[in-house]
C-alpha cells in the first residue's frame, strides 16, 4: 500500500502564494511595459540624439533623390538643397565633410553627398571637384522634395543608413559636434555598413 502525501492546508496556501509571487515577478514587468507603450505614461522626456528622428521608413526617394544603382552601401551624410546650393547649403556640405573626417578610423563606414535641385554655380562646382573629391553628387527632384510634408524647406543635412533609409534630419543651425556624436552612436550600435 502506498501512503498518500497530503500536505497540510497551511503548506498548500504557502505554495500557492509563492507561485503567485513568482508569476507576478515574471509577468508583471511585461504587463507594465505594454501598458506604458499603449497608454503613453511614464515615458522619458529626454532623448539620446540631437536631430529630428525620421522613424517612418522613408528612403532617399521620398526626398526626390536619385542615387545610382552602383552606390556602395554606407552610412551617409546627405545635404539636400532644392533651390541650388547657396551659402547655407555650402556650410552644410563643409560640415558634412568635417564630420566624416571626425569619424577617424570609422570614416570608411560613412560618406558625404550633395543632392541639388538646380545646377551649381560653375565656380562652386569646380571648387567641389578640387577640394571635395570624395563628395557624392546626386540629382534632386524639387517637386518631390517640396511635396513631402515631413520635409521643411531649404537646405537640410540627413543621416542615411546603408539601406537608404532616412534616420535623422538637421537644419542649417545644427551643431556639428552633436551630429558627429549622433553618427558615432549609430555606427557603434549598427551591425550594417
List, as one string, the DSSP characters of the chain. Answer: -PPPP---HHHHHHHHHHHHHHHHHHHHHHHHHHHHHHH--S--S--S-SSEE--S--BGGGGTEE--TT----EEEEEEETT---HHHHHHHHHHHHHHHHTGGGGGGEEEEEEESSPPPHHHHHHHHHH-TT-EEEEE-HHHHHH-TTS-SS-EEEEE-TTSBEEEEE-TT--HHHHHHHHHHHHHH-S--
Flag residues of the chain having pLDDT under 70.
Answer: 1-7, 193
Per-residue pLDDT at 151: 86
Per-residue pLDDT at 43: 77
Per-residue pLDDT at 149: 85
pTM flag (> 0.85): no
Per-residue pLDDT at 7: 64
Burial of 96 (0-12, 13-18, 19+ CB in 10 A): buried
Residue 117 CA, chain-centre distance (Å), reads 24
Per-residue pLDDT at 102: 95
Per-residue pLDDT at 4: 67
What is the grid cell recorded at 108? 570608411
Per-residue pLDDT at 56: 83
Amino acid at each position: 500500500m502506498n501512503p498518500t502525501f497530503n500536505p497540510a492546508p497551511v503548506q498548500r496556501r504557502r505554495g500557492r502564494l509563492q507561485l503567485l509571487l513568482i508569476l507576478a515577478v515574471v509577468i508583471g514587468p511585461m504587463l507594465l511595459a505594454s501598458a506604458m507603450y499603449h497608454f503613453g505614461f511614464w515615458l522619458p522626456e529626454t532623448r539620446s540624439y540631437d536631430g529630428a528622428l525620421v522613424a517612418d521608413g522613408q528612403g532617399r526617394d521620398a526626398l526626390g533623390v536619385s542615387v545610382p544603382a552602383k552606390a556602395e552601401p554606407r552610412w551617409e551624410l546627405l545635404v539636400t538643397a532644392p533651390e541650388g546650393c547657396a551659402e547655407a547649403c555650402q556650410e552644410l556640405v563643409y560640415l558634412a565633410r568635417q564630420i566624416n573626417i571626425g569619424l577617424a578610423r570609422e570614416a570608411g563606414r560613412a560618406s558625404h553627398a550633395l543632392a541639388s535641385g538646380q545646377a551649381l554655380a560653375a565656380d562652386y562646382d569646380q571648387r567641389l571637384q578640387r577640394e571635395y573629391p570624395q563628395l557624392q553628387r546626386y540629382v534632386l527632384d524639387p517637386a518631390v522634395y517640396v511635396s513631402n510634408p515631413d520635409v521643411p524647406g531649404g537646405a537640410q543635412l540627413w543621416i542615411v543608413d546603408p539601406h537608404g533609409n532616412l534616420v535623422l534630419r538637421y537644419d542649417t543651425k545644427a551643431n556639428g559636434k552633436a551630429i558627429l556624436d549622433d553618427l558615432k552612436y549609430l555606427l557603434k550600435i549598427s551591425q550594417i555598413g
